[in-house]
Amino acid sequence: MERKGLHVAVVGATGAVGQQMIQTLENRNFPVETLTLLSSERSAGKKEMFKGEEIKVQVAKPESFEGVDIALFSAGGAVSKVLAPEAVKRGAIVVDNTSAFRMDENVPLVVPEVNEDDLKWHNGIIANPNCSTIQMVVALEPIRQAFGLKKVIVSTYQAVSGAGAQAIEELKAQAKAILEGEPFTPEILPVKSDRKHYQIAFNAIPQIDKFQDNGFTFEEMKMINETKKIMHMPELEIAATCVRIPVMTGHSESVYIEVEKEGISAEDIKNVLKDAPGVVLQDDPSEQLYPMPADCVGKNEVFVGRIRKDLDRDNAFHLWIVSDNLLKGAAWNSVQIAESLLKLGLVK
């Protein structure tokens, strides 16, 4: 008997990204015949809705993946390292939303608008890039194709939801405490496991993830290394500064680029982006039209504006890039990869 659809598993189903994955599978009408929801023991037993049906969340273990076609992982790198190979052993294709496999040379790191063809050489695991990387490469790839790309300098303004549900609650609680003149103790940001924590409400924290020996943070190095891998440009000059700001959802990025071609105008860049896949151009200074995180929540696209030519270098430009970090930055890109696998005939 022919199946009506696929057996899909979501690992980390009760987390901020897992919830969005479930919602995105439903919104996209992805061909799901069976949906298995998995989590840690702590969250098991909860119930989630999918297409009007209540599904009980189960504890994730190796045998959970028997008969699964596609497994979407977003439960932290440690879980992925243990369970993703177990899922593959049982015949599943894993789309992993952690940093566990991103820089593994045997694992494709994919943003469908940029390097969909890399899916063709997967060995069972496909890595979903970091949220701040995804939105940037979606905007930069069409520019690279048209004019070449030499250099990228990015500063990010990242929402607290990128640090998980606890960080969202911390922002809300701190804002309330400050406005009511109550005392509070920061416990989550910038890095929960670090010894020092700082206020995020009405503040900006120039640290996301742990510091590396070179003075950059792990988040910054993720952006640098992942961009080179996704765009197949090991020679690209790129630097990043990643900052956490008191916004719930939606990452923003100020990006400086240098292109190969001389004599390019800001209009040329806009013309390339206005028809680019997954991009919405919002750029009209006369109408104060530009992307903002509050407007991108719940939307799958990457929004680009404030495009202008540098005042000193002929081949340099500045852009402002905004996207919902839980959707294009995580859940939607994962489901989009699953859609691409189907389109390319890579799901048995």
What contacts 343, CB < 8 A, 6 or more positions away? none
pLDDT of residue 348: 81
Q: How much of the chain exceeds pLDDT 90, in percent?
A: 97
Domains and CATH numbers, the chain: 6-128+330-344 (3.40.50.720), 133-323 (3.30.360.10)
> Could you tell me the pLDDT band of residue 184, with boundaries at 50, 70 and 90?
very high
Whether 291 has a binding-site annotation, put simply, is no
Catalytic residues: 131, 251
> Could you tell me the pLDDT band of residue 1, with boundaries at 50, 70 and 90?
very low
pLDDT of residue 136: 98
Question: 148 to each of 225, 236, 256, 320, how far by Cα in Å?
Answer: 19, 11, 14, 19
What contacts 195, CB < 8 A, 6 or more positions away? none
Mean pLDDT, range 25-33, rounded to an integer: 97
SS3 category, 272: helix
pLDDT of residue 321: 98
Q: Which amino acid is at 93?
A: I
Alpha helices, DSSP H, located in the chain: 16-27, 77-89, 112-115, 131-147, 165-179, 218-230, 266-274, 293-296, 332-343
> Is pLDDT at 175 greater than 70 in this prediction?
yes
Q: What is d(CA 281, CA 307) in angstroms, rounded to the nearest whole number?
A: 10
pLDDT of residue 145: 98
Task: Give the model confidence (pLDDT) of 199-222 as tens digits.
Answer: 999 999 999 999 999 999 999 999
**Residue 192 near residue 210 (C-beta atoms within 8 A):** no
SS3 category, 288: coil
What contacts 309, CB < 8 A, 6 or more positions away? 265, 266, 316, 317
Task: Give the model confidence (pLDDT) of 301-325 as tens digits.
Answer: 999 999 999 999 999 999 999 999 9
Whether 244 has a binding-site annotation, put simply, is yes
Whether 158 has a binding-site annotation, put simply, is yes
Task: Give the model confidence (pLDDT) of 93-102 as tens digits.
Answer: 999 999 999 9
Task: Give the model confidence (pLDDT) of 123-169 as tens digits.
Answer: 999 999 999 999 999 999 999 999 999 999 999 999 999 998 899 99
Q: How much of the chain exceeds pLDDT 70, in percent?
A: 99
pLDDT of residue 4: 76
Q: What's the first-to-final CA gap in the chain, in angstroms? A: 15
pLDDT of residue 2: 57
Q: Where are the beta strands (DSSP E) in the chain?
A: 6-11, 32-39, 47-50, 53-56, 58-59, 70-73, 93-96, 125-127, 151-158, 237-244, 251-258, 279-281, 302-309, 316-323
Whether 17 has a binding-site annotation, put simply, is yes
Residue 16 in tokens: 């901020």
